[in-house]
Structure 1
């Protein structure tokens, strides 16, 4: 029983750590910060979501059933776009426009009703690279975990596989010993 719990903890760690993506964009450009829920049967009254920059700055709160105005840090006023037509499908991505150096950093998308969160690291470059195209917008292709994060995920995965192999070998020996004991 304890080994199963250990495997579950590793699986959760791998899942949580690997949810971070890195997105690159340029000064003055726009970028879509991805966030989606694993649930796809959302009701408007259940949607309650917050985007935060560097832990505490309110980028935008998405609460479609509330009639009061959105809370938002003044530096994001008129620079964020949401996609309400996507909410019921579990897509809570946002678009940041007119990017500035101060926009770089970590963005966290908290999906409150399901206790999920996703992390996006935004890197701001001074000029457009050939991979980003002329608009300075990122596309969803090629977005994945950053290299250090990928290494952490690989290490955790190797540890998880090692634990599973150890458990299988241990259980196999135990069963073989029991079989030998019953034949004596």
Structure 2
């Protein structure tokens, strides 16, 4: 009986630890939303402090005693990082916009008073190249002559081309 209880305790600890790391993928120029923890964090009631760091060195975002603080924020995240929490019922998310390839890496969220230490791996993929179809327009069946050639470039993604 004791062995079964120990196995359940160890399994619970392993599963709980494994759930503290997640991977988020996005595209260059896009937006990513990173979750701070699987546990509820009530910022206002206890005036919690929450820190977000990128690769352990860059200060992405801070909430100090329940209030947003960008005083120590790395300039690379200015106007691109925000924290969502009020509408999410006790969960804190970091929202990064206009992603750059250099934003890829490990993001650490920690809440000292609650002992929360959560990491997220952000993978930023290169923006896909847009493919174009080129068409040359010339006069057909008219007496008019084009002095210049008109070249149309039409993006292929999302378009269906039909020739008659």
Paired with 1:106 and 1:67, the residues of 2 have a C-alpha distance of 22
Matches within 5 A, 1:70-109: 70-86=71-87, 89-109=89-109
- Where does residue 144 of structure 2 map in the other structure? none
Whether the 8 Å CA contact 2:42–2:48 is kept in 1: the answer is no
C-alpha spacing 1:67/1:90, structure 2 compared with 1 (3 Å): closer
> What's the CA shift for 1:39?
3.3
**Counterpart secondary structure, 1:43:** helix
- Which structure dedicates a bigger proportion of its chain to strand? 2
Paired with 1:67 and 1:59, the residues of 2 have a C-alpha distance of 12
> What's the CA shift for 1:82?
1.5
Structure with more contact order per residue of length (Cα contacts < 8 Å, sep ≥ 6): 1
> What's the CA shift for 1:106?
0.8
Q: What per-residue deviation string (whole Å, max 9, x for no partner) do you get for residues 144-164 of structure 1?
A: xxxxxxxxxxxxxxxxxxxxx
Whether the 8 Å CA contact 2:85–2:93 is kept in 1: the answer is no
> What's the CA shift for 1:112?
1.7
Paired with 1:36 and 1:59, the residues of 2 have a C-alpha distance of 17
- Where does residue 34 of structure 1 map in the other structure? 35
> What's the CA shift for 1:65?
3.7
Q: What is the RMSD computed on CA atoms of the aligned residues?
A: 2.9
> What's the CA shift for 1:67?
8.1
| TM-score, scaled relative to structure 1 | 0.58
- Where does residue 145 of structure 1 map in the other structure? none
Paired with 1:32 and 1:91, the residues of 2 have a C-alpha distance of 12
- Bigger Cα Rg: 2
Structure 1: 4+ residue segments shifted above 6 A? none
- Which structure dedicates a bigger proportion of its chain to helix? 1
Structure 1 unaligned blocks of 5 or more: 129-133, 135-184
Paired with 2:68 and 2:110, the residues of 1 have a C-alpha distance of 20
C-alpha spacing 1:18/1:40, structure 2 compared with 1 (3 Å): closer
Tell me if 1:115 matches 2:115: yes
**Counterpart secondary structure, 1:8:** helix
> What's the CA shift for 1:22?
1.0
> What's the CA shift for 1:113?
1.6
Structure 2 unaligned blocks of 5 or more: 129-156, 158-164
Whether the 8 Å CA contact 1:62–1:70 is kept in 2: the answer is no
**How many residues matched?**
129
